Structure 1
């Protein structure tokens, strides 16, 4: 995300919130979190935008219970729109975590759809990692905490052990 300071700052707030969830498994009280964000220089408008963005992401979750992973592994081919919207290294990251079994086809599609709805010129690797973390946490933050912590730190070896 380059060129729009407000969006970059909103993403920074989302990253701070995701960091709290990864470390503590929960958020501090809303008032405490907002006070902390204000004290480090974020504006109320930016904080509100971050919470609204996360809420919108959670509303776009796939709710189709009949959606099942394929029994035979498949290869995902990105459309022209997806290729233009998502940076090459971000697409590679998604394919890597899919091949490692960290996410399934349904979660992959959900992340891609959320990326396309961000209205950014190009989604970077950092952006896709944040979207992935938020998507996994929206499904079950306890189940995915270790995996998210590993890929946010680029520590792939811990995923194999």
Structure 2
């Protein structure tokens, strides 16, 4: 599923450039992705769209508070992933409302705790869904999987 998300980022400049779900599914199948992975990715993207719609008005509201994570969040998302999200937030890359979208989408991941490489893709997709400007160095970090670039 995460390979499909990276593929979408690389091949569609904005989410609006993506075709309708049925056409996209056919294109992904033609690109060699498995149908189960395509269904998972499209479901995940649908969840992203729903979450983003609920939070979009808050995306540009400045936040001066500190996010405190519960023990269950640490277990579900993982210490390494939470640390990376906190880094993105402290660097000004991920505003608080987008952080919450990243965390919500991490909860939707089939893996627990979420590996660092996957939280990077989740963050990338959240930023992509908002058409946020992403600095090249940040983009390289988000596409880096322990020294292996995730470009197709």
TM-score relative to the length of structure 1? 0.68
For residue 144 of structure 1, what is the aligned residue in structure 2?
A: 133
Q: Deviations over 1:42-97 (max 9, x none)?
A: 22332233122211211112336367322x3x332211111001222211111111
For residue 69 of structure 1, what is the aligned residue in structure 2?
A: 62
For residue 107 of structure 1, what is the aligned residue in structure 2?
A: 98
Q: Which runs of 4+ in 1 moved over 6 A?
A: none
> Is this contact kept in 1: 2:48–2:105, CA < 8 A?
yes
> Is this contact kept in 2: 1:85–1:123, CA < 8 A?
yes
SS across alignment from 2:4: helix
> Is this contact kept in 2: 1:69–1:106, CA < 8 A?
no
Give the gaps of 5 or more residues in structure 2.
Answer: 145-152
Size of the aligned set, in residue pairs, is: 138
For residue 126 of structure 2, what is the aligned residue in structure 1?
A: 135
For residue 80 of structure 2, what is the aligned residue in structure 1?
A: 89
SS across alignment from 2:55: coil
Distance 1:153 1:65, change over 3 A: closer
TM-score relative to the length of structure 2? 0.72
Give the gaps of 5 or more residues in structure 1.
Answer: 1-9, 155-161
For residue 111 of structure 2, what is the aligned residue in structure 1?
A: 120
Select the structure of larger CA radius of gyration: 1
